[in-house]
C-alpha cells in the first residue's frame, strides 16, 4: 500500500511538472523527436547496410588457379597450406573437369559448344576460397600468390574492397552522429529538469526541512524526464514502422538490384521502433537523473 501511494505521488508530481512547464517540456520533446527520427533513419540504414555487407561478403570468393605442374597427390597439402592463411574461412577444391562444367553452365545453352574440350581440357584446377570478412580479401590474395604451386589469384579487385569500406565508413559515421545527437538530447533534458527544480525550489526546500529523503524528491523529477523521453519517441516510432513500410513498398524490397535486398518490414521495424523508444526512455532517464542528482547533492 505504501509503495503504491509513493508511486502514485511520484506520477502525480511528474505530471504536475509536465503541465506547469509545458512550453519547455514541448521544446525538449520536439528536440528528442528530431534526434530519435535521425536515430531511427540511421538505425534502419545501418541495419540494411549490415545486411547488404553480409550479403556481399557471403558472395565474395577468391578464385585461385593451381599450377599445372602440381601433382594430384600434392593437392591436399597445398589446400592445407592455403587454408592456414589468416582470414581464409573455407577452401574448396575444384578439378579441371568441374571447372569446365561450371564454365559451360555459365553460358547456358550456348555453352554446350565447349563440350568439345571435355577430353582435352585447357582449364586449370582451382581452389575457391571464402574469406572471413571483405576487408581481408586483398591481404589474403597477396599471401596466396606467394605460395608455390599457385599460378593466379583472382578476386573482385579493389572495387569490392572499396565498396565494403564505404559501407563500413557510413556505418561508423552514422553511429558517431547518432551518439552525438543522443548526448545533445541528454543535455536538453538535463536543463529542462534543472528548470523544474528551480521553479520548485521552495517546495523542495520545505521537503528537505521536514525530512523528505533525497530519493523521495528525485523520483518524480526522474519520472518527468522519462515521460519527456516517451513523448519524444512516439512520432519516431510511428515513422519507423510506416515510413520504412512505404519506402520498402516503393523500392520493391530491393536496393539497385535484386542482389542488394532490403530487410523485410516486420518484425524489423518493430525491433527498431522498440530500440528507438528504449533510447528515448534512457535519454530521459539519464538526463533527469544527472540533473536531479547534481542539484540535490551536497546539500544537507
Partner 1 sequence: MIILENVSKIYKNGTKALNDFSLEIQDGEFVYIIGETGSGKSTLIKLLNGEEIPTKGRVIVNGTNVGRLRFGKVPLYRRKIGVVFQDYQLLKKKTVYDNIAFALEVINKPKEEVRNRVKEVLGIIDLANEFNSYPTQLSGGQQQRVVIGRAIANSPSILICDEPTGNLDPRHSKEIIELLEKINKSGTTVIVVTHDYVLVDTYKKRTILLDNGSIISDNPEGGYVHV
Report the interface residues with partner 1, using CB under 8 A.
2, 5-6, 9, 202-203, 205-214, 216, 300
Do the beta carbons of residue 142 and residue 87 sit within 8 Å?
no
Residue 147 DSSP code: S
C-alpha cell belonging to residue 83: 587454408
Q: Return the number of the residue (211 or 267) whose C-beta is nearest partner 1.
A: 211
Of 11 and 163, CB closest to partner 1: 11
Pair type for strands 126-131 and 88-94: antiparallel
Taken in order 153, 159, 165, 171, is the CA torsion positive or negative? negative
Give the nearer residue to partner 1 in terms of CB position, either 125 or 218.
Answer: 218
Count Cβ atoms below 10 Å from residue 254 Cβ, excluding itself.
12
> Least distance to partner 1 from the beta carbon of 50, Å?
46
Q: Which three cell numbers stand for residue 163?
A: 565498396
Q: At its nearest, how many Å lie between partner 1 and the CB of residue 12? A: 11
- The DSSP symbol for 253 reads T
Give percent helix, percent strand, percent coil of the chain, each to the nearest 5.
Answer: 75, 10, 15
Q: Which is nearer to partner 1, 163 or 216 (CB)?
A: 216
Q: What is the DSSP code (8-state) at residue 224?
A: H
Residue placing its CB nearer to partner 1 in the complex, 2 or 116: 2
Supply the minimum distance, in Å, between the C-beta of residue 298 and partner 1: 9
Q: Identify which of residues 147 and 195 has a Cβ nearer to partner 1 in the complex.
A: 195
Nearer to partner 1, 155 or 289 (CB): 289
Least CB distance to partner 1 at residue 195 (A): 18
Q: Give the nearer residue to partner 1 in terms of CB position, either 61 or 199.
A: 199
- Determine if residue 235 is left, alpha or beta; phi over 0 gives left, psi from -120 to 50 gives alpha, anything else beta: alpha
Q: How far is the CB of 226 from partner 1 (least distance, A)?
A: 21
Q: How far apart are CA 61 and CA 91, in angstroms?
A: 10
- Shortest Å, Cβ 209 to partner 1: 6
Q: Is 277 helix (H, G, I), strand (E, B) or coil?
A: helix
CB of 220 to partner 1, least distance (A): 11
Burial bucket for residue 16 (CB in 10 Å: 0-12, 13-18, 19+): middle
Q: Is 30 exposed, middle or buried (0-12, 13-18, 19+ CB in 10 A)?
A: middle
Q: Least Å distance between CB 211 and partner 1?
A: 4
Amino acid at each position: 500500500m505504501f509503495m503504491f501511494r509513493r508511486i502514485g505521488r511520484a506520477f502525480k508530481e511528474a505530471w504536475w511538472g509536465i503541465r506547469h512547464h509545458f512550453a519547455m517540456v514541448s521544446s525538449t520533446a520536439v528536440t528528442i523527436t528530431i534526434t530519435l527520427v535521425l536515430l531511427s533513419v540511421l538505425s534502419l540504414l545501418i541495419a540494411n547496410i549490415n545486411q547488404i555487407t553480409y550479403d556481399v561478403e557471403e558472395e565474395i570468393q577468391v578464385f585461385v588457379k593451381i599450377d599445372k605442374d602440381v601433382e594430384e597427390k600434392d593437392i591436399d597439402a597445398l589446400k592445407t597450406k592455403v587454408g592456414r592463411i589468416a582470414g581464409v574461412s573455407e577452401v574448396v577444391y575444384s578439378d579441371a573437369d568441374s571447372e569446365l562444367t561450371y564454365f559451360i553452365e555459365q553460358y547456358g545453352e550456348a555453352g554446350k559448344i565447349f563440350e568439345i574440350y571435355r577430353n582435352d581440357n585447357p582449364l586449370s584446377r582451382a581452389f575457391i576460397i571464402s574469406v572471413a570478412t571483405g576487408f581481408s580479401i586483398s591481404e589474403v590474395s597477396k599471401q596466396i600468390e606467394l605460395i608455390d604451386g599457385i599460378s593466379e589469384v583472382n578476386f573482385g579487385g579493389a572495387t569490392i574492397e572499396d565498396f565494403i569500406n564505404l559501407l563500413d565508413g557510413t556505418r561508423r559515421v552514422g553511429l558517431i552522429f547518432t551518439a552525438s545527437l543522443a548526448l545533445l538530447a541528454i543535455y536538453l533534458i538535463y536543463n529542462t529538469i534543472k528548470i523544474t527544480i528551480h521553479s520548485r525550489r521552495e517546495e523542495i526546500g520545505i521537503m528537505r526541512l521536514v525530512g523528505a529523503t533525497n530519493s523521495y524528491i528525485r523520483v518524480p523529477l526522474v519520472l518527468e524526464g522519462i515521460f519527456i523521453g516517451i513523448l519524444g519517441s512516439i512520432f519516431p516510432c510511428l515513422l519507423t514502422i510506416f515510413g520504412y513500410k512505404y519506402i520498402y513498398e516503393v523500392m520493391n524490397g530491393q536496393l539497385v538490384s535484386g542482389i542488394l535486398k532490403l530487410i523485410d518490414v516486420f518484425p524489423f521495424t518493430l525491433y527498431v521502433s522498440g530500440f528507438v523508444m528504449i533510447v528515448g526512455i534512457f535519454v530521459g532517464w539519464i538526463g533527469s537523473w544527472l540533473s536531479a542528482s547534481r542539484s540535490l547533492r551536497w546539500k544537507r
